[in-house]
Structures are given as C-alpha cells and as structure tokens.
Amino acid sequence: MSVDTRPILPGLRERGVDVTGYTAYGRLVYPVTSPGARAISTRRCAQMTESQRGASRRHPSNTSTRPTIRDIAREAGVSVATVSRVTHDDPRVISETKQRVQRAIDRLGYRPSALGRALSYQRTSTLGIVLPGLGGPYFAQLIEGAESVAVQRGVVINVLGTHLRPDAADAVRRLAERTDGLIIAGGTLPDDELAALAATGRVIVVAGEVEGAPTVVTDGRRAAAELTSHLADVHGYRRMRFVGEPDGSPDTAWRYAGFCDALAERGLTEAGEPLRLGLDVRSGAVAARLLHDEADLPDALVCANDELAIGMLATLPGLGHRIPADVAVTGFDDQSLAEIASPRLTTVFQPTAELGARAAAGALGDPIDDNTILPTRLVVRESCGCEPEHAPN
C-alpha cells in the first residue's frame, strides 16, 4: 500500500513538457518512441525473486479461454450450424433443440466472437470517428450524435484522437480497416492524406472539406459575419479582435473569414492579429493574459468557440477587466454552458449533435448529399453588451 512514485511515462516533465496540461486541439504532448518506456516493468520484473514471481501481490493473468461455437455444439450434441442458428433466432430450429442449445450457451457463458462474425460477415458493425482531440464538449456532442444513430443500428463506435498520436495518418488507416465507415473531422489530417482516405471507402467529413467524400458542415462564415455585424452595428464596436487559430481547422478558418468579411464590409480593420491558440478553455485563459499584458484591450473579442470565451470569463474579471463593460466577448457553438456562465454568452448556435448524427448515418451507408449544410442561429445574450432580456441576472 505504499505510494508508488516511479513514473512510467518517460520523463516528460523533465524535458519541459507539461504533462498536466492538455491541449484540445493542436499540440503533441508525448514522444513517439522512448527507450526508457518499457524499462520500469522489465526492471521491476528482474528485481523480483523467483518466489515473488506470480506471488499473491501479482495479479494472475486470466488464461481461461472463452468457449467457442464448437464447444457449445459439442456440449449440446448438435452441429455448429445449429448453434449459429440459435444465436440468430432462426425460426427453423425446433424449440426443443433450441432449448438444449440455449442451456449449453448459458452454462458455458458463450457469446459469439465479434471477430469471427466480422470476418464472416465482411462487416465489423463498427463506426470510426476521427477527431483532433477528445477534450471539450464540442467533440463529445459530435460523438453523442453519432452514438444516437449507432445504437439504433447495433453499431459500436471507435473514437480516435489524432493529436494524441504521432502516427495519425497510419492510425486512421488502421482504424478504417476495422470499421464499416469513418467520420473524419476537419483539421485532423493533412489534406492529401484525407483525400487519399476519402478515395478509399466510406468516409464522411464533418466540419471540413475534401474532394471525393461527402461533407457535413455549417456555414460558419456566414454566421461569424452575422455575429460580427451585430457587434459593429448594434454596439458600435470598432476595435475587434479574433481569438483562434485560423490555420488550425477549417471551422476556425471559416469563422475567421466571416469575421473579416463583416469588418471589410464596414471599412473596419482588425484591432490586431488573431490570437493564434488552441480551442480549449485553457487557450482562452492564455489569450486573456496575453491581452492583459498588452494593456490595450479591444472593444470586443470574437472567440472561435465557446470554450475560448469561457476561458476569458474565468480570467479577465480576475485581472480587473469587466465583461462586457470593458470588453465584450463572444463565443461560438452555443454549448449549454453559454447560457449559465456570467455574463451569459452571446454566441452562435450550431447543431453539433445533429452534425454527428448525419455524418454517422452517411458513414453507415444511408444516402447522403455531397454537401450537407446545417443551419446556425445567432444567439444574443449579455456578453456582447446587450441587456439581459428579463430574469434576475
């Protein structure tokens, strides 16, 4: 029961890598190959005396192999074909034998191997989802939407976060092999890799674009322009700045483009370069500190998503800047948090789960348009400077 302090993760901290930190969208946080990595377990092994080996403290590896269809057949005194029929509720098998087989199944605790089935069916009943990272509500919702259609089809979902993997493209290819369809989020793979993959099979791209595969998106550009227009026309803000990395993902690129559109339309210029950071709460907080240090806050900050905006809400006030009195802040996506934080967040609603659901249906073989565009909606609340509609706070 003593506390174990020996790290198995190869000295990330020592190398200046922030092990604690999580980057939702962009950076790689661990080394590809590390010679020291296996060391601990082998060393630990070597240290053990023969008597300790396999002793009580070590957990026994369960070697009991699962029963196969043949075991059941033998046990029930029937052929494997009959067992297979029983597991498929085939009406042809007479109820007497069915009973017998079922009992054998229960007794031995048999469950058909997914692997065997997949090989035979030539279908894995698995849907792959490729995302940049796994943090944050946006991707969680996307997955949720996909799950909702997957469960109905008896399909399981495999999620792959590419930014957790140095060998992203290869990992995706391997995933593709194990799945019947693939949903790939924009910004996960280089364009050429994406295109190659798209050509290869049943893939749907969400929040991105590619030649050769259907896409499911929202018109972030238009929406961002609308949002920015509100800031300019209703509130008269002139000095606005974008928070997010336009080169990081198509979604962010579109939103930035819309932001620029609205400015240009009014002869305005950006109050500064985009704050090129990730898409997580942390990046919002970092941006807030950066801005604070610059000591020249713009009128309004247009964040690439709600999480960035939340990061600002959790940082700017503590630094002495009131929102929206000193600086307006807007988000994007309308996560449920947006209407709960204070001030409530002005943002753009986007049917994220629906994106996932559509993509899933398409990836699973439903007919789907080459380019599905889902609607967005400007959601004006208080963080832009508008009055609370009613209600206390």
Partner DNA sequence: CTGAAAGCGCTAACAA
Partner DNA sequence: TTGTTAGCGCTTTCAG
Which spans of this chain sit near DNA (rule: CB under 7 A)? Answer: 65-66, 68-70, 77-82, 84-85, 87-88, 92-94, 96-98, 110-113, 115-117, 119-122
Identify the residue among 187, 214, 278, 331 touching its own copies (CB under 8 A). Answer: 214
CA atoms of 300 and 230, how far apart (whole Å): 11
Interface region with its own copies, contact rule CB under 8 A, candidates 99-107, 138-146, 244-252, 269-277: 138-146
Q: Which is nearer to DNA, 110 or 242 (CB)?
A: 110
Interface region with its own copies, contact rule CB under 8 A, candidates 91-99, 233-241, 271-279, 348-356: 348-356
SS3 257: helix
Burial of 387 (0-12, 13-18, 19+ CB in 10 A): exposed
SS3 329: strand
- H-type helices in 214-351, by residue range? 220-233, 250-265, 281-294, 306-313
Q: How many residues bind its own copies (CB under 8 A)?
A: 127
> What is the per-residue DSSP string for 202-231?
-EEEESS--TTS-EEEE-HHHHHHHHHHHH
Identify the residue among 211, 370, 387, 389 touching its own copies (CB under 8 A). Answer: 370
Residue among 145, 144, 190 at smallest CA distance from 163: 190
Q: Which is nearer to its own copies, 170 or 233 (CB)?
A: 170
CA atoms of 383 and 130, how far apart (whole Å): 33
- Judged by CB under 8 A, does residue 7 bind its own copies? yes
CA diameter of the chain: 84
Q: Which is nearer to its own copies, 252 or 315 (CB)?
A: 315
- Judged by CB under 8 A, does residue 139 bind its own copies? yes
Q: Which of residues 21-60 bind its own copies (CB under 8 A)?
A: 21-22, 24, 29-34, 37-38, 41, 44-45, 48, 57-59
CA atoms of 319 and 222, how far apart (whole Å): 33
CB of 29 to its own copies, least distance (A): 6
CB of 262 to its own copies, least distance (A): 19
* Among its own copies, DNA, none, partner that 97 touches (CB below 5 to 8 angstroms by kind): DNA
**Degrees (nearest 5) of the Cα angle 311, 317, 322?**
115
CA atoms of 355 and 107, how far apart (whole Å): 44
CA atoms of 14 and 7, how far apart (whole Å): 11
CB of 13 to its own copies, least distance (A): 9
Interface region with its own copies, contact rule CB under 8 A, candidates 89-97, 230-238, 244-252, 359-367: 359-367
Q: How far apart are the first and last CA of the chain?
A: 50
Identify the residue among 75, 245, 251, 280 touching its own copies (CB under 8 A). Answer: 280
Sign of the dihedral through C-alpha 276, 277, 279, 282: negative
- Judged by CB under 8 A, does residue 353 bind its own copies? yes
Q: Which of residues 220-279 bind its own copies (CB under 8 A)?
A: none
Q: Which is nearer to its own copies, 12 or 386 (CB)?
A: 12
* Among DNA, its own copies, none, partner that 237 touches (CB below 5 to 8 angstroms by kind): none
